[in-house]
Copies of this chain bind each other. A is one copy, B any other.
Amino acid sequence: MSLIQEKTLQAVEILKEQQTDLWLTFVRETSGVRDPALDFIIGPGDLTWPSALMFTRSGEKIAIVGRYEAEAVERLDVYDRVTPYDEGISAVLRETLQRLDPGQVAVNTSRNNVHADGLTHAMFEMLSEYLTGTPYADRLVSAEPVINALRGRKTPAEQTRIRKAVEITEAIYRKTFAFIRAGMTEIEIAGFMHAEMEKAGVGFAWPKEGNPAVNSGPDSPVGHSGPTGIRVEPGHILHFDFGVKYEDYCSDIQRVGYVLRPGETEAPPEVRRGFEVIRSAIEQGRAAMKPGVKGNDIDVIARGVVTGAGYPEYKYALGHQLGRVAHDGGALLSPLWEKYGDSPNQLLETGQVFTIEPGLAVPGYGYIGIEEDVVLTGSGAEYLGGPQTEIVLLKG
């Protein structure tokens, strides 16, 4: 069974569970704006003309597409019915809805999750106009709950791919730490990691420019900017944020090292303390994760470990879901800030994969951020790889 066959069967089960009659993905020229839901319902191909992909609670799978794309959609072996059209989609779309007569038409619009928000404003207006005079214009609802469940609940096939991405990432980290010498620039180290990615045949979990992030010492800007010409020196904390894509599924892992100064055999006390606080924040957050808990509750626990130890609060979310992209949307381990919408109030579910990634700066040394990837099972959150439990010591 192909991945899209598996995911579209799962979509029908979700519609049943959520008592939603119909899910409609309405798109056009997806080479320009690509609704993220398409990856699960048509795969990597594009649709040129206005197209409607519909799944019903009763199990029907229907595609209405431009005539020259009907054959390609038929070949996916997903849709029971592929209806081609020539000049305009509106009439056949209305007829199809009238036949199905759904009580709700869930469309891809969401304030909280970008991956459930593939319907553009103009496409929403056109759809509303096409449905004017039918009962369905007033039955449009958000497909966010459908898409959150479909994206969030990773099937065994999806989990296998993420595990493999994590495994490859860990292997590249091991080689990289063995490669690093004092005097190398952040850019040189990133170049080594890119070469290892190419050898492993994997892609980027986010764009190459900032992947990996490499931060050596206290003066390197932390965040989504790329590596710089700053050189690794004794006394630097070395911080990485790195993720690969293996068969369309991502890893996202942060690691830290410390470059020993002459005479040192371990990191200074303030670096060790920062590391232990972050390690503890991750472990306490992970231990509290289980199906049915709110993402915000987990964020509060881990954030409290960091601020409770006297460090400033990190100004980002503790963790996000991970899947086809690094930031996979849906329930989020985050504060209740405007930019996160309602996502931190959503509940954890079995099959979701999350990052946990608190951070803090150690003045004069650099930035400590560790990021682990975990999967939710019925009983709790399991690490997908081997978590970092000790700071990596590098010879100066």
A-to-B contact residues, CB < 8 Å: 28-29, 31-36, 44-46, 48-50, 66-72, 75, 86-90, 109-111, 114-115, 117-126, 206-207, 209-210, 221-226, 315-316, 325-327, 329, 335, 337-339
In angstroms, Cα B117 to Cα A105, docked, is 22
Among B29, B69, B90, B225, contact of A329 (Cβ-Cβ < 8 Å) = B29
Among B28, B31, B66, contact of A325 (Cβ-Cβ < 8 Å) = B31
Inter-chain contacts of A48 with B (CB < 8 A)? 224, 327
- Min C-beta distance of A127 to chain B, whole Å: 9
| Contacting pair B87 A109 (CB below 8 A) | no
| Contacting pair A223 B35 (CB below 8 A) | no
| Contacting pair A75 B225 (CB below 8 A) | yes
Known: A109-B121, A337-B87, A338-B88. A327 touches B223 (CB 8 A): no
In angstroms, Cα B115 to Cα A110, docked, is 21
Known: A45-B207, A46-B206. A88 touches B33 (CB 8 A): no
- Min C-beta distance of A193 to chain B, whole Å: 18
- Min C-beta distance of A372 to chain B, whole Å: 19
Inter-chain contacts of A111 with B (CB < 8 A)? 122, 125-126
Inter-chain contacts of A88 with B (CB < 8 A)? 337-339
- Min C-beta distance of A281 to chain B, whole Å: 18
- Min C-beta distance of A79 to chain B, whole Å: 14
| Given A71-B225, A89-B338, 20 additional A-B pairs, CB 8 A | A29-B114, A29-B329, A31-B325, A32-B327, A33-B115, A34-B34, A46-B207, A46-B224, A49-B339, A68-B315, A70-B223, A71-B223, A72-B210, A87-B338, A109-B120, A111-B122, A117-B120, A117-B121, A119-B120, A119-B121
| Contacting pair B325 A68 (CB below 8 A) | no
> How many copies of this chain?
2
Among B66, B72, B89, B339, contact of A89 (Cβ-Cβ < 8 Å) = B339
- Min C-beta distance of A74 to chain B, whole Å: 8
Inter-chain contacts of A224 with B (CB < 8 A)? 45-46, 48, 68-69, 72
- Min C-beta distance of A247 to chain B, whole Å: 16
| Contacting pair A45 B209 (CB below 8 A) | yes
Inter-chain contacts of A338 with B (CB < 8 A)? 87-90
Inter-chain contacts of A69 with B (CB < 8 A)? 223-225
Inter-chain contacts of A120 with B (CB < 8 A)? 109, 114, 117-121
Known: A120-B109, A120-B120. A72 touches B28 (CB 8 A): no
| Contacting pair A117 B122 (CB below 8 A) | yes
Inter-chain contacts of A119 with B (CB < 8 A)? 120-121
In angstroms, Cα B66 to Cα A283, docked, is 27
| Contacting pair A327 B109 (CB below 8 A) | no
Question: Taking CB as reference atom, which chain B residue is nearest A31?
Answer: B325
| Contacting pair A35 B33 (CB below 8 A) | yes
- Min C-beta distance of A301 to chain B, whole Å: 20
Question: Taking CB as reference atom, which chain B residue is nearest A326?
Answer: B31
| Contacting pair B44 A209 (CB below 8 A) | yes
Question: Taking CB as reference atom, which chain B residue is nearest A73?
Answer: B225
In angstroms, Cα B118 to Cα A206, docked, is 20
| Contacting pair B210 A45 (CB below 8 A) | yes
- Min C-beta distance of A126 to chain B, whole Å: 6
In angstroms, Cα B87 to Cα A335, docked, is 9
Among B72, B86, B207, contact of A225 (Cβ-Cβ < 8 Å) = B72
